[in-house]
Structure 1
């Protein structure tokens, strides 16, 4: 599956979902299940590539700040949510995690405490394949390698967070004490 095809399917699933990530996952699953099995496997492979491209310590730091903490699985689910936001938002957030501060839903979460995750987005291909064939999606013979994260920084160090993610820190952290 080509990149454009992957994101077109995500956009189709987003249409009419009104930001409901469970609805996006369900719609994407239904759309994918209607395709041939090679497309389903291709979607899964592309999803793994997208997740690998977003496996970055700076994005993890942003997720940690936004969600008030973020485990390994939580980071996966956050990136699932990020996929539901569409290609442009996803690409911008991967390139510059602090750009998430521009999203109205993130700005609102700074007040409401809403957390962002979409675990169901990670199993779209598995669920679609099961619907289409009544069997499990075969393992990819050439799995996408997970990149090295790089050096972690202390996500609880508010000064470091302010330095690395200034716009998000302005939303989610108390002003520095004088």
Structure 2
């Protein structure tokens, strides 16, 4: 039923009264089908297939556009090649990182080194303590949290590769 209605509408639209002036619209029902270029042996070519590879901006001596740095504690600010600074570093769960690696042990440099390793760097080369920040989470045991005062964290950790 739907096919018949569609075919009737197409036949009506192809009559000379509906066609643009000066143009002949071929009737739909004469067995003529428009052929796809692929069916006619004319394949449309991809620029890569034609040897027109798109150039990488770095290969052209240009720097690719960089996404804006949004520091959420996980996004480092690159100080120089291989040196990254994390402001108010966060535990992978999203809370502020505790000053100590385990409860009241392995604090400061050891916790910072472990954080840098977790982030894919070799070690911490600089850090600063942030005292009494409130809620923090220990890196080695994410079930352990400090939820009051005095809970210390880091103002920043600078990691190096």
**Structures share a fold, TM > 0.5?**
no
Larger radius of gyration: 2
For this structure pair, what is the TM-score category when the shorter chain's length is used for normalisation?
under 0.3
More strand by share: 2
Provide the TM-score with structure 2 as the length reference.
0.26
Higher helix share: 1
